[in-house]
Amino acid sequence: MGDKCGQQSLIFSQPPVIISGANIVGPEEGEGPLGSYFDWILDDPLFGEKSWEMAECKMLEESAKLALQKIELQTQDVDFFLAGDLLNQIISSNYAARGLEIPFFGLFGACSTFAEALLLGSMLMDGGFAHRVLLGSCSHHLSAERQFRYPVEQGVQRSATAQWTTTASGVLVLEAQGEGPRVNMGTVGKVVDMGISDVNNMGAAMAPAAADTILTHFQDTETNPDSYDVIVTGDLGSVGQAALVELLKQRGFDLGEKLQDCGILIYDTCEQDMHAGGSGCGCAAAVFTGLFLRKLREKQHQNLLLVATGALMSPISSQQGESIPAIAHAVAVSS
C-alpha cells in the first residue's frame, strides 16, 4: 500500500526491488564512453531486420528476453509489461509486446517514458497488483530521424543545439522481494511549456520541466540535494543541462558535480560530433540499466534520483506553430 506525498509525489511502503536489467545499443553508442557498460552492442543498426522500425522493435524485445534470461525467468513469470517509444503509435513497444505475450500497458512520454514506466510499474507492485513487472523503452536514430526530421540520406546539416536520438533500448525487472536496488519514491511530472518552439533545441524546452519536477520532489518528500549522491537527468544534453543549472541556481540550489545527464554521458560529444548530446526514449533506459544500475549494485551510489525528461510535441504540432510541451518524471532509487 503506497502513499501520496505532497502535491505530486509518492512513497512506496514496500519499495520494489530491481532484480534485473538489460540493454542493447547501436554502434555509435557502443563506441562512446559507456560502451563497456552495455550488454549488447549492435554492429548493424538493422539488427538483421528489413527496416529500422522493426530493428527498434527487436531491440526492445531482445532486451526484455535478456533481462529475464539473466535471472533465469520466462516471460510467463512476469505479470505486466509497461513500455513506450518515440515512433508513431508506439509500434516498437506494441510489436515487442506481441512477441513477449505479457499483459501490456502502452505508454507515451517521449524521452521521459522510461521513468514513467518505472513509476507506474512500481505503483502496480506496491499496490499489490503484481509480483513481478517488466518495463522498458527504446529508440532508434534512423527511424526517429526520418519520422521527426529528414531522411538521413538527405544529409541535412544538424543544428548546434540539436540532440542525437540514440539507438538504444533498456529494460528492468521489478520484484516485490529480493536483492538489489530499491525504488523508494517518485514524483509525477506536470506538463510545462515555456514557449520554446525550436525543435532543434529540445533541451531548452525540457529544462524547465526538469527544474519543476526536481524542486517539487525536494519539497514534497522533504529531501534536498544532500539526500542524493547523484541526480541524473535524461536527456537534456549540454544546452538543456546549462539551462537547468541556471534555473536551479535561481531557486537557491547548486547541484554542482552531482548533476549528470544521460544524453551527455552516452557520447563523447566532441569526438563523436553529436552536438548537444543524446536523446530518445532509449537513452535514459540504456544509461540507467547500464551505467547506473551497476554503480548502485556496487554501492558506488547509495541514493540516486533519475529525472527523465520528455519533449511532447509532434511534427504536426510544430508545423502548426505550437510550442513544445515538456514533462519530467523523477524516481528515487537506493542501493
Pairing of strands 9-11, 3-5: antiparallel
Cβ closer to its own copies: 40 or 104?
Answer: 104
DSSP letter string over 153-205? GG-PPPPTT--EE--EEEEEEEESSSSS-EEEEEEPPPPB--S---TT-HHHH
Going by the DSSP 8-state scheme, the letter that residue 112 receives in this structure is G
Q: Which stretch binds its own copies (CB under 8 A): 18-26, 97-105, 198-206, 275-283?
A: 97-105
Pairing of strands 303-311, 326-334: antiparallel
Indicate whether 151 belongs to the interface with its own copies (CB under 8 A).
no
Could you give the CA distance from residue 138 to residue 87 in angstroms, rounded to a whole number?
A: 10
> Which of 45, 43, 32, 26 has its CA nearest to residue 269?
32
Binding mask 108-127 for its own copies (x = CB under 8 A): xxx-----x---x--xx-xx
Indicate whether 10 belongs to the interface with its own copies (CB under 8 A).
yes
Specify which residues 329 forms β-bridges with.
Answer: 308
Within residues 72-91, the interface with its own copies by CB under 8 A covers 79-80, 84, 86-91
Within residues 257-316, the interface with its own copies by CB under 8 A covers 312-316
Indicate whether 40 belongs to the interface with its own copies (CB under 8 A).
no
Cβ closer to its own copies: 39 or 85?
Answer: 85
Cβ-count burial of 283 within 10 angstroms (0-12 exposed, 13-18 middle, 19+ buried)? buried
Residue 266 CB, nearest approach to its own copies (Å): 22
Indicate whether 4 belongs to the interface with its own copies (CB under 8 A).
yes
Indicate whether 106 belongs to the interface with its own copies (CB under 8 A).
yes
Could you give the CA distance from residue 124 to residue 136 in angstroms, rounded to a whole number?
A: 15
Binding site for its own copies (CB under 8 A): 1-4, 7-8, 10, 50-51, 53-54, 79-80, 84, 86-91, 94-95, 97-98, 101-110, 116, 120, 123-124, 126-131, 147, 188-193, 312-317, 320, 322, 325, 327
